Amino acid sequence: MATTKHRDPELEAIVGRARARLAADGDFRPPRAGGFTSALPIEAQEIVHDWLDDGGYERALELITSQDPDLANQ
């Protein structure tokens, strides 16, 4: 069953104009379907996975967001 959303009409109008603008600019080009094969070499994939799994990415984010609050998870 479809759910009707109860959003602010003014916001809905702005969203509608944004959609029209993005479509006119060609920005609404949909992502290519059919899955994705990583362009990272296999050895690099392993390094990335280790870095993610040992908390390296989280530490990097702490450093970045300490310098730039606009990029922080709030």
Partner 1 sequence: MIIIDDQLLLDALSGRAVNAVADPFERGEVFTTGCWYYRLGRAVNAGAGTGSLSRRFEALDPPTRARALRALDELPDQIGLLSLRGLVPVMRALRVRRPLNMLNAEALAAALVLDASVVVTTDSPLLRSGAADLEVHYQLAD
Q: Name residues contacting partner 1, limited to 13-42 (CB under 8 A).
A: 14-15, 17-19, 21-22, 25, 27-41
Rounded Cα–Cα distance for residues 62 and 12 (Å):
35
Among 1, 2, 7, 9, binds partner 1 (CB under 8 A): 7
| By CB under 8 A, residue 9 contacts partner 1 | no
**Is the CB of 1 or the CB of 36 nearer to partner 1?**
36
Q: Are 71 and 64 within 8 A, CB to CB? A: yes
Count of residues of this chain found to bind partner 1 when the rule CB under 8 A is applied: 51
